[in-house]
Structure 1
C-alpha cells in the first residue's frame, strides 16, 4: 500500500566533497556532479537530508538514495516525538500524521561509481568547457569576406541542456528515477 502523502518538504545538504573523476577538477567537477545528481535519484557523495511529510499511513519510497536513516519523528502533543519506522517491501512504512525523517543520503565509497556515471561526468565537463563558435553572450555570428560567407547560430538553451547535448543524459537513464536499493 502506497502512503498517501499530502505535503512534503525536502532539505538536502551539500556534500563535503564529490568523488574524483579523472580529467575533471576544481569547480568544474562540482558543477558536473551537481548537474548529474540533480538529474538522478541517486547520490554518490554522502550528505544530510531531512524530509517532512504529512502522511495518511502506508508505504513511502524516498526519492533519493541510497539512504541510511538517522532518526525519525512523529508530531504528537505539540512536539516531535521519536518513532520507529519499519521497512516495507519497497520503502518505509509511515505512521499517520506528520513525520520527519533525518537521513544520510549517498554512497561513502567512490569505488562504487558506475562506469556510465563517470563517463557522463567526463562528457558533460568536455561540453561545458568546449570553445563556443560564437562570441560570449551571442546567439549567432556571421562574417563576409568577399564572396565567402560564414554564418553560425546556436541554440539559446545550449548550456541549460548540456546534459542532453553532451550525451551524458543517455548514459544516466538507469539512474533517472529513484532506482536505488530499498531502504
Structure 2
C-alpha cells in the first residue's frame, strides 16, 4: 500500500546550474533559467538546492517524489493543528505512514549535473533557438518562383513538444522518477 502525495510546494532555487558549454550563439542568447525550468518540469531530479513541502495522505509507504531530498520535519494533522511526529523508515528508503495527513518539509537538490543532462540542455536550447530563428509565430508560409512552389506549415504545438522533438526527453528518461 502506498500513501499519496496530495500537494507539493517547491521553492525557487537561488540559481540554476551553469549553462553547459558548446552552444551556438543563438542558443546562448536564450534564457538559460527558462530552459532549466523546462527540464526540471520533465524530471524528478534537482541539481540546485531549494525548499520543498509535501502534504501526504493515507497509510503505507511514501517516498519523496523529488530527489535528492533532505527531510527536516515531519508533522501529522491532529485535531486542528500540525504536531511533530517521528515515522519509521520503510524498507525501500522512504517512510512508513500509519495513516492520516502528514506534512514533510525540507530541501531538494544538489550535486553535479550529469553530462547526459547537460546534453539534454544543449539539445533543447538548440531546438528552441532554431524554432525562434524560423519565424516564431508563423503558422504557414508559401513561396512561389515561376512554376516551383514550396509550402511549409508549422504546428501550433511545436513549442510545447520541444522536449520530445529535440531528443532531450529521451536523454532524460532515467531521471523522470525519484
- TM norm structure 2: 0.87
How far is 1:134 from its partner?
5.2
Q: What does 1:67-146 correspond to in 2, within 5 Å?
A: 67-90=69-92, 91-107=94-110, 109=111, 112-131=112-131, 135-146=135-146
Aligned residue for 2:32, secondary structure, equals helix
Partner of 1:155: 155
- TM norm structure 1: 0.85
Structure 2 contact 3–97 (Cα < 8 Å) conserved? no
Structure 1 contact 134–141 (Cα < 8 Å) conserved? no
- Bigger drift between 87-96 and 169-178 goes to 87-96
Note the residue ranges of structure 1 that are not aligned, 5 or more in a row: 179-183
Q: What does 1:10-29 correspond to in 2, within 5 Å?
A: 10-23=8-21, 28-29=31-32
Partner of 1:181: none
- Give the superposed CA RMSD: 2.0
Aligned residue for 2:138, secondary structure, equals coil
Structure 2 contact 35–124 (Cα < 8 Å) conserved? yes
d(CA) in 2 for partners of 1:144 and 1:54? 62
How far is 1:27 from its partner?
6.0
